[in-house]
Amino acid sequence: MPDRLRRAAGRLARWLARWLDRWPEIVALVPLMAAAARALAAGWIPVGENAVISLRAADVLTGDHPWVGTASSVSVSSGAAVNHPGPALFDLLALPVKLLGPGPGVVLGLLALHSMVTVVAVRAARRCGGRTAALLATATFVGLSVTLGPELVLDPWNPHVLLMPLLALLWCVTAVGAGRSEYLPWAAGLGSLVLQIHVSTALLVPSIVAVGLFGAWRTGSSSPPWRATAIVIAAFWVQPVWQQLFGAGDGNLWALASSGGGGGTRVGLRLGARLVADVVAVPPFWMRPSFERTFSDLPLIGPAGESLPTPGWLVGSALAALLMVLLLGSLSALAVATWRRGWHAPATGCAVAVVALAIAVASASSIPRVGYGVAPHQLRFLWPIALWWMATMAWAVWVLIGAARRPIAMRSMRVVATIALAVGVVGSLPSYPQAVGVARATLSIDDVRRLVEQIETVDLPPVRLAEGGLWIGEPFTIPVLEALWADDQPVWVDDAGGSQFGRRRVSAQPVGAVLYLRAGAEALLCAPGALRIALVTPIDAATLADPAALAEAAQTADLRTVAVFVEGDDGSLPVGVVGAAGAGGS
């Protein structure tokens, strides 16, 4: 019996190895499909800033068509309203969002996008580096899925949604540099997508593409598809360029280029290197729980303009410098050694890693010290880079020791890779919530959904969104606006809001009534002249109906209690509100 079991296990292992050898990209898609199924089953809807993505995707090819990306936090440090470079993400999600609605549309749209870039990357790896590279590519995507978990792997927030395309870009650029010039249009498209999604990659993307082009030139790659590449670039950039030339004001691209550090000082090389080293060179590297715990918000300038001390959780300057020098030196040596021996693909991969790490330090060093200081979302591109240098270093070492030319070593590697990938895929499936980005909101999607359902029963007169509102990063306001605009309600925003929601949603005429959201006690006790049109709270209905009990409950009400109000500009009750669910006063 043990012999039969061993033979059966051996046959199963060989079958899995052969299957993985032929279709490694399928393995990398399993975490994505599982995450999509989980989100659809849970009734996921975009909340907070994620709702901007679905809102603007639905605006594509309408009167509110987006010509640029979402509003950028660069606005805080520069003092000028600027957006991320382009609307490519909105364009890609437009059809599923229009057909299926905000929740399913975003989930399935991102599933399609991430699946496509994963398959392209694994096939590019196979074309330039054979089976070994294909397995490594699969491992990088599975590793990123494990790190993000099912809650974030399909998250549409800008700093998160670019991670899979950026990883695919690294593989496609390497393929181009190794002589597979047919992947140049893919590199151009993925680079354009990543850069348009988030301006933090403005230095990184062109730099690594340049490495691929240099490698293609050195390998004598014949007849690169320049025409197809030019068409791809034109398709991605025609809208931002049009807005720059014919849009209002100076144009967004020029505003981004000129905003820089907002006239203030930058983080600097020493702190920039420490930030990068904390992810790429210090355990747990890119692995769990690094995405949530490696970084936290890092303000650098105090309220009085004083410099704040650097927190103790960052790696020290001397150690960071030593680790980065060792890492860059090792990768450079491997790039030279593999190139001289004719292994152009791993050599290009190591060169891409060297440039990516150096540019990452430069990007981190150029973050303005004013405003937010350093926020984790500004450096999320470090996680694919950390995965990348490990994969390319392993690849280069593998070919240099000659293991790739030994059949028994290859068979052993495939079996080990099969087991490792299976463990990784299984590890990526269980729920792994992380309090990062939009997910930092402590309230559930069900609370947002209940508030929106009440809003959908209301007919409003012309109102404008009041300044202020709830706390930074709250999940409610944008879904409320999205629901009202989907119902063609006359809700307007101020000029600053126009950069996020579209200029057509800025009223050209004064609007008397205001709409605002409040939390805690303010949500329970309506001000005179205010009309509450929606309310979510854990407080029971009997308490809400008893004024004395309600006043007592209001003293301990927390952020789980949120309400939407409409009020006349002069404190009077607005005329024309119909079907105000939860309306009331005190």
| Mean pLDDT of all residues in 391-415 | 81
Give the residue among 366, 377, 357 at the shortest CA–CA distance from 437: 377
- Residue 557 to residue 538: CA distance in whole angstroms: 9
Strands 463-465 vs 491-492: parallel, antiparallel or unpaired? parallel
State the Rg of the chain over Cα.
26
Q: Residue for token digits 């849009």?
A: 247
The pair phi, psi for residue 350, each rounded to 5°, is -65, -40
User: For 171-196, what is each residue's pLDDT tens digit?
Assistant: 999 999 999 999 999 999 999 999 99
User: For 55-72, what is each residue's pLDDT tens digit?
Assistant: 999 999 999 999 999 999
Within a 13 Å sphere around the CA of 512, how many CA atoms are in the beta-carbon half?
Answer: 10
* Cβ atoms of residues 121 and 403 within 8 Å: no
- Residue 49 to residue 33: CA distance in whole angstroms: 24
Determine the 3-state secondary structure of 547 from DSSP: helix
User: For 277-295, what is each residue's pLDDT tens digit?
Assistant: 999 999 999 999 999 999 8
Any idea where the domains of the chain sit in the sequence?
2-254+266-438, 441-567
| Mean pLDDT of all residues in 432-452 | 84
Determine the 3-state secondary structure of 473 from DSSP: coil
Strands 562-567 vs 530-536: parallel, antiparallel or unpaired? antiparallel
- Residue 322 to residue 354: CA distance in whole angstroms: 15
Token duo for residue 183: 């992947």
Which segment of 238-247, 317-326, 454-463 scores lowest on mean pLDDT?
A: 454-463
- Residue 17 to residue 24: CA distance in whole angstroms: 10
Determine the 3-state secondary structure of 450 from DSSP: helix
Q: Who wins on pLDDT, 527 or 110?
A: 110
Q: What confidence score (pLDDT) does residue 220 get?
A: 81
Q: What confidence score (pLDDT) does residue 583 get?
A: 41
- Cis, peptide link before residue 303, omega less than 30° from 0: no
pTM here is: 0.93
Which segment of 409-413, 501-505, 523-527, 557-561 scores lowest on mean pLDDT?
A: 409-413
